[in-house]
Amino acid sequence: MTLLKKNSADRFIKLMTKSSPFLKQITFATLNEPVGSYPLLTLSRYKTRGINRNAIATLQNVSDTTINFNAKELVLPLVIPDSYIEDMNSSHEKVASYVASVFAMDLQYLFLNGDTDEKGTTDIANLRKAMDGIVKQLTAKAVDYKEDASKLEIIKTLVKALPENALADPDLKIYVGATAYTELWDEIANNSADKALLLNNGKIVYRGKEVIEIPELSKIVIINPNHIVGGICRDITMETQRYPEARGQKVVVSARVDFQVVTDYAVMEGEESEEVDDGDGD
């Protein structure tokens, strides 16, 4: 077994995050220990005081936001065919990128859709069981919508449910899955009143927030990706073994990882409902 050196581990993590559209946007924290608590900057507002220079500006109702990490060990067994290395004259860097990209796409799916209550024994089910992803963690912030609502109407409902001043956050983004993105695009393209939402560069923007397609996302989510923290320990191991039956090389990567969502500025698509208050007073 080979424990990657710190520099090698950091390079592997960079290769990994570069391979995933979702991991590129979120915050990755360095975990020195697999279990621990990490304080974050308190973003409480209205703490400024009007005061003269001989007085003391007291702190009131200030509390730290703390992330509690309990990293789970994730293992990726992978077989790289000889033809990939021999016929394509692959370098060590290219092989490392290949391994990192496979791990990254699995990690992206887990961070999005992980569910420790998942049933079943398929590869996807076993992956989802590792930890709770963003859809599971944001369940308490799920917003229901009217039956037969279009995707654009669902997004409008979610925006109305956002906390005060959330839209003022310049990094707030709207994430949708591949199917939902296609439906949304068709709805806008076929409605002349909404076509202004389709920009010339092929993007959809609503209320100044870009709608981003993340293929595997199962729900529509509005959140600032900087407030999504993926913690990863630097004690990454990589072991290789000759696999002659498969005419290839077996590679096993092991890393300790956790995932936390640390924001109030977030909402998620809920369920269809007969009676939903759309905020218009109807």
pLDDT score, position 107:
95
pLDDT score, position 30:
82
- Show me where the domains of the chain are located: 2-35+69-133+227-260, 145-226+265-273
Looking only at the bridges linking them, the beta strands covering 204-206 and 266-273 are unpaired
Alpha-carbon dihedral angle through residues 129, 135, 136, 138, given to the nearest 10 degrees: 160
Has residue 93 got a pLDDT over 80?
no
Looking only at the bridges linking them, the beta strands covering 221-223 and 266-273 are antiparallel
Half-sphere exposure of 224 (CA within 13 A, CB side): 16
Has residue 251 got a pLDDT over 70?
yes
In CATH, the architecture of 145-226+265-273 is 2-Layer Sandwich (3.30)
**Best-predicted range by mean pLDDT (6-15, 44-53, 70-79):** 70-79
Return d(Cα 218, Cα 174) in angstroms, integer.
Answer: 13
Sign of the alpha-carbon torsion through 28, 29, 32, 37: negative
Has residue 2 got a pLDDT over 90?
no
pLDDT score, position 196:
76
Radius of gyration of the chain (CA): 22
Looking only at the bridges linking them, the beta strands covering 221-223 and 27-31 are unpaired
Q: How many CB atoms lie within 10 A of CB 119?
A: 8
Q: What is the pLDDT averaged over residues 118-135?
A: 94
Has residue 282 got a pLDDT over 50?
no
pLDDT score, position 281:
45
Return d(Cα 249, Cα 241) in angstroms, integer.
Answer: 6
Looking at the chain, how many residues does it have? 282
Return d(Cα 8, Cα 155) in angstroms, integer.
Answer: 42
Has residue 173 got a pLDDT over 70?
yes
Which helix or strand (DSSP H or E) is residue 136 part of?
helix 134-137
pLDDT score, position 84:
75
**Residues 206, 208, 213, CA angle at the centre, nearest 5°?**
55
Q: How far is CA 30 from CA 34, 38, 103, 191, 256, in A?
A: 10, 10, 18, 47, 11
Name the residue with tokens 């809920």. 270
Looking only at the bridges linking them, the beta strands covering 228-233 and 27-31 are parallel
pLDDT digits (tens, 9 = 90+) for 70-89: 999 999 999 988 887 776 66
Q: Is the CB of residue 70 less than 8 Å from the CB of residue 38?
A: no
pLDDT digits (tens, 9 = 90+) for 11-22: 888 889 888 888
pLDDT digits (tens, 9 = 90+) for 191-228: 877 877 877 678 898 988 889 999 889 999 999 998 88
In b/e form, how buried is each residue of 232-259, taking b as 16+ CB within 10 angstroms? bbbbbbbeeeeeeeeebbebebbbbbbb
pLDDT score, position 9:
87
Taking alpha carbons only, the member of 242, 257, 273 closest to residue 34 is: 257
Residue 173 CA from chain centroid, whole number: 12
Return d(Cα 15, Cα 166) in angstroms, integer.
Answer: 32
pLDDT score, position 280:
53
pLDDT digits (tens, 9 = 90+) for 142-156: 999 999 899 999 999
Return d(Cα 105, Cα 174) in angstroms, integer.
Answer: 20
Q: What is the pLDDT averaged over residues 243-271?
A: 89
CATH code for the part of the protein at 2-35+69-133+227-260: 3.30.2400
Give 122 or 282, the one with higher predicted confidence.
122
Range scoring the smallest mean pLDDT among 16-20, 29-33, 124-128, 224-228:
29-33
pLDDT score, position 135:
92
